[in-house]
Amino acid sequence: MSKQIIPRPAVLISQLHTMIAGLEKYAELYSPVSPSKEELQTCVNNLVAALQNQVQTAGVAEKATKDLYAVRDQAVDLLRRTRDALYAYFGKNDPRLVEFGLDTRKARRSSNNSGSESSAAGNG
């Protein structure tokens, strides 16, 4: 282990284990009052538990996200099918569609009126 302490949890756990191993090796020569080997081991245990909890929580969050997307996709499909059924039943021009939150298409002008006017003007 170098002098540099790296705050990433996996590296920290490794550094703490190395430090504990060194304290055990030189227990007769060096026995610190504080921080003790027991404090370091407690810290390792707490860090491992917190890391496992974070990984577990991330897994739960990922599952919750997948569940949300599945339900969302089901809702979108259901809404599309309902919209399509309403358009099929009422037609796309019926003003009652607005009550369902749908847009209506304006009725097209008949091409006979505009076509006959232009052809009549051209012929006359």
Question: For 49-78, what is each residue's pLDDT tens digit?
Answer: 999 999 899 999 999 999 999 999 999 999
Give residue 116's pLDDT: 53
Burial class (CB in 10 A: 0-12, 13-18, 19+), 83: middle
Show me where the domains of the chain are located.
9-105
How much is the pTM?
0.55
Q: Which two tokens stand for residue 31?
A: 């026995």
- Residue 84, CA distances (Å) to 16, 91, 100 in order: 63, 10, 12
Q: What tens digit of pLDDT does each residue of 72-97 get? A: 999 999 999 989 988 899 888 888 88
Give residue 43's pLDDT: 93
